Amino acid sequence: MDTGTDLRWYSTLPALGPGPSVHWASAAFEAELRDWVAEVLGGLGVDVMALEQVHLRPWSTVWRVRGSDGADYWAKQNCEHQKFEARLLRVLDELAPDRVVPVVGIDAGRGLHLVPDQGRVLAETIAPDDVDAWCHVVAHAMSLQRDLAGAESRLVAAGITTMRTGDAADYVTVRTEQLNGLPVGDPLRLADDDASALRALGPTVTEWVERLSALGLPEALVHNDLHANNVFPTADGRLRFFDFGDAVLAHPLSALMIPLNILAHRFEASPDDARLRRVADAGLEVWSDIAPSAELRAALPAALQLGRLGRVESWLRVCVTLTDEELAEYGDAAPYWLGSLQSEPFPA
């Protein structure tokens, strides 16, 4: 499915598939992974000394690899609908090498990639309430968006889902009917009351789309899981981002939804909290040469609401390849995020 050219790519739900976590927990997968890592590192004159599974999630698995050069490497495989991350990382490494983790090797067909260890993630080096650090994160993430200007075709070719701003109202309508139409008892089913509320919200969603479209900003890379555990600090003060399995191509300001949502819960703060505004302003500043800051600020509530759609889509990509037990635990995430469009917008 080419989500860049099919304007109605969301006319069906992502295809069902087996839960990969069962295979990831097997000795057979460890052997497969060892063979692949050995081949990649062997090309660099490095032998595999040890292989250890560090994360096993329903949507991805991560392994630490110790090389004969004394260095650590990290191998990752994603679930079927998020395996594009390997190809995307290769493109990002070529186009913005100073802003993302370097890539040692990928297997695009299997969704495998191998990267060198980058030290401690930012979250391990800052205080949880360090607002300046969060300003740094969003500013650098949006600078990455700017660095990729003109590269949309390459991002789409890598397999990233294109969630165009102009399609948002139609996307909400289609996904609402699809999820509400699932059988009662299906964890992915959208409740009737949420479906009714979303149908009534249609004109408001259209208003959000119009406000954002008026800014004239291009669709951009939205990390879609932007937080301090998905970024490495560098010695020169820059940041390197990783974990792009949830990424989408969408309105650039929607990238602020995740960090502001995290901070609102962490600080137990209302949306108009001054600390949240500082973080938002740090991101908006990156785009202020294209649209006036006042207009960016006025459109931010709409961008944050539509940013919720990225979470809907990434959870759908994940949930269709979960085991029954995993689906019972995580299946309500997509309808939750779709229903959350009813929440009070972040104030302008």
What would the two tokens of residue 220 be? Answer: 């951009």
**Which pLDDT value is given to residue 1?**
40
112-116 and 105-107: which strand pairing?
Answer: antiparallel
In order of 57, 219, 220, 279, 321, the CA distances from 151 in angstroms are 31, 11, 9, 27, 30
What would the two tokens of residue 219 be? Answer: 């669709």
Would you list the DSSP string of 141-206?
HHHHHHHTTT-HHHHHHHT-EE--GGGHHHHHHHHHHHHHTSPTT-TTPPPHHHHHHHHHTHHHHH
In order of 128, 297, 311, 343, the CA distances from 336 in angstroms are 26, 27, 10, 11
Would you list the DSSP string of 3-60?
TTT-TTGGGSPPPP---THHHHTSHHHHHHHHHHHHHHHHTTT--EEEEEEEEE-SSE
**Which pLDDT value is given to residue 2?**
42
Please report, to the nearest 10 degrees, the dihedral formed by the alpha carbons of residues 139, 141, 147, 148 taken in order.
Answer: -150
Q: Residue 140: what are its φ and ψ, rounded to 5°? A: -70, -35
Enumerate residues 6+ apart whose C-beta is below 8 A from 117: 71, 72, 73, 74
| Whole-prediction pTM | 0.96
**Which pLDDT value is given to residue 271?**
86
CA distance 256 to 44: 39
Per-position pLDDT tens, the chain of length 348: 444 445 689 999 999 999 999 999 999 999 999 999 999 999 999 999 999 999 999 999 999 999 999 999 999 999 999 999 999 999 999 999 999 999 999 999 999 999 999 999 999 999 999 999 999 999 999 999 999 999 999 999 999 999 999 999 999 999 999 999 999 999 999 999 999 999 999 999 999 999 999 999 999 999 999 999 999 999 998 999 999 999 999 999 999 999 999 999 999 999 889 999 999 999 999 999 999 999 999 999 999 999 999 999 999 999 999 999 999 999 999 999 999 999 988 877
CA distance 293 to 287: 8
CATH architecture of 18-117: 2-Layer Sandwich (3.30)
**CATH superfamily of this structure's domain 118-348:** Aminoglycoside phosphotransferase (APH), C-terminal lobe (3.90.1200.10)
Q: Which residue has the tokens 């207009």?
A: 295
Enumerate residues 6+ apart whose C-beta is below 8 A from 91: 151, 154, 155, 158
What is the phi-psi region of residue 247: left when phi exceeds 0, alpha when psi lies from -120 to 50, beta otherwise? Answer: beta
How many C-beta neighbours within 10 Å does residue 76 have? 21
**Which pLDDT value is given to residue 344?**
86
Where do the structural domains in the chain lie, given as residue ranges?
18-117, 118-348
Amino acid identity, position 148 = L
Q: Is 256 helix (H, G, I), strand (E, B) or coil?
A: helix
Q: Residue 117: what are its φ and ψ, rounded to 5°? A: -60, 140
Amino acid identity, position 21 = S
Amino acid identity, position 284 = L
Enumerate residues 6+ apart whose C-beta is below 8 A from 42: none
Same fold, 18-117 and 118-348: no
